[in-house]
Amino acid sequence: MAEYANPDALVATDWVAQHLNDATFKLIEVDEDTDAYEKSHIPGAMSLHWRNELQDPVVRNFADKGQFEQLLGKKGIGNGDLVVLYGGNNNWFSAYAYWYFKVYGHDNVKLMNGGRKKWELEGRELTGEKPAVSATSYQAKEADSTIRALRDEVIAKVGKTPMVDVRSPDEFSGKLAAPAHLPQEQAQRKGHIPGAKNVPWSKAANEDGTFKSIDDLKALYQEEQGLEPQNETIAYCRIGERSSHTWFVLKELLGFPEVKNYDGSWTEYGSLVGVPIEREYKEENGG
């Protein structure tokens, strides 16, 4: 069977289970809601709260380089450490953290395929005990802009650079202004960035949270949508976490050399004054 472009970007639940007591890597559960972690998690895993620890509390942006260094140092993560990430929500937030770690230059990072769900479905051990941590110092690199797209770059590339909108078909078409279960989380306008292809993130994953095979992913993105590795591709969703999952697929599994995650995503673009929008869905009263 053909392999992913970067198979080392993933570890299987089996591998984690076999190496739990090795002390050869730092295991981190990344969540939007850490309640599940507080109750139980994979033995040895630390917690990382996507919003409280990775985001600036005032400005909509990453924690800055210094804050990231303090965060990792506090968690006892050194520059040379292998970090293995997993989480709930089908690995949305752990994929985001994977991308985020890459932005700050921590290349020795892997994602546990299937996340917390796969681990639990396999009936593997969970514990409420938190690991002991020895703080250390950490030196981050300057943020890597080759994998992150910001607003002005996206606007300049509309209609020129292939883009992938990983939201649901109804969000893409403009029928819904937000995910069907989060109707309050709306941008000012409905629709999508002109020219973007709609490939919902979930099409890249199995129900157990693992990524689909390389052949299935090639069919999904390249054969069906015409996305090509020789072109730069930008992925976006609503707030950049689902699109991190797709960024991981395109970059690490399919091996597209140039992929950017636009984490401002639709909550930013869909509320900008004057930018072009495509909307296929037409409401009867022109709303």
User: Among residues 10, 95, 237, 250, which one is catalytic?
Assistant: 237
Side by side, which strands form the sheet with 259-261?
A: 197-198, 163-165, 233-236, 259-261
Q: How far is the CB of 257 from other proteins (least distance, A)?
A: 28
Interface pattern 130-169 for other proteins (x via CB under 8 A) = --------------------------------------xx
Residue 180 touching other proteins (CB under 8 A): yes
* Residue 201 binds other proteins (CB under 8 A): yes
User: Which residue in 123, 274, 286, 287 binds other proteins (CB under 8 A)?
Assistant: 123
Q: Which of residues 54-113 bind other proteins (CB under 8 A)?
A: 88-90
* CB closer to other proteins out of 129 and 185: 185
Using H for helix, E for strand and C for coil, what is the string for 243-261? HHHHHHHHHHHCCCCCEEE
Nearer to other proteins, 47 or 161 (CB): 47
Distance CA 49, CA 29 (A): 8
Q: Least CB distance from residue 224 to other proteins, whole Å?
A: 15
Which tokens sit at 276?
A: 């072009």
What are φ and ψ of residue 253, in 5° steps? -90, -45
Nearest to 9 by CA among 261, 247, 217: 247
- Which 16-45 residues touch other proteins, going by CB under 8 A? 35-36, 39
Token code pair at residue 227: 């996305």
Burial of residue 153 (number of CB atoms within 10 Å: 0-12, 13-18, 19+):
middle
For residue 47, give the nearest of 38, 57, 55, 39 by alpha carbon.
Answer: 38
**Binding flag, residue 207, other proteins (CB under 8 A):** yes
Interface residues with other proteins (CB under 8 A)?
A: 35-36, 39, 88-90, 116-117, 120-123, 168-170, 176, 179-181, 183, 200-202, 207-208
